[in-house]
Amino acid sequence: MRTVLRGLAVWVVIIVVETLHGLARTMFLAPVIGDFRARQAAVFTGSLLIVLVTTLFIGWLRPANIREAAWVGIVWLVLTLTFEITFGRLVVHASWARIASDYDLPRGGLLPLGLLVLAGAPLIAAKLRRVLEKQFAVRCSCQSLVLRAWVLVRPGSFVHGPQRTKDHGLRTDLRTNAREPRTMATRNQKPQ
């Protein structure tokens, strides 16, 4: 519940930043390159702003796990779609065709890409700020164990498998089961 309420607060900050970004786009960029091109360019700068704001607040948001961070992103996506359509229709008085043009990828509407960044922003920020480090580390270590197990059980690896793994500078001679320090010459040797 705490993460949901904090997520709503961060979303409000994102919406305020994006609204100011939209006003700046309309006043400064659209007169120079045109409205549609300005909206296309603003998707990339807006995505950068979203990741920046989320990265600043992810320590305060502090999702408990990867699933919670993903849910925050999905809630942000739904809230933003609702806000965009409501704001576009009621405040800006934009037509449905004008609103839909921002979401039409084949015709150059890039807003779906920005919404994907928005949905993934909590995960991206958590990774950048290492908030969910234990969650990511567990997944990486599980993948590493699976990879090591595969190296040891594949055909022909019983003889040479342990020499291929990182063993802190020591090489295991499988015939005598003795460990000896690795030198540059023994590191570059191919297994017999």
Q: Which two tokens stand for residue 147?
A: 């990879």
Q: Looking at this protein, which amino acid is placed at residue 21? A: H
Measured at the CA of 21, the angle between CA 18 and CA 27, to 5 degrees, comes to 145
Residue 109: band (very low, low, confident or very high) from pLDDT cuts 50, 70, 90: confident
Give φ, ψ of 179 to 5 degrees. Answer: -105, 135
**92 sits in which H/E element:** none
Distance separating alpha carbons of residues 182 and 171, to the nearest angstrom:
6
Query: pLDDT digits over 138-189, tens only?
Result: 455 545 544 554 444 444 444 444 444 454 555 555 555 555 555 555 555 6
Residues contacting 115, CB < 8 A, separation 6+: 77, 80, 81
pTM value > 0.85: no
b/e 168-182 (16+ beta carbons within 10 angstroms → b): eeebeeeeeeeeeeb
More confident residue, 13 or 145: 13
- pLDDT(86) > 90: yes
The domain ranges of the chain are 2-132, 139-187
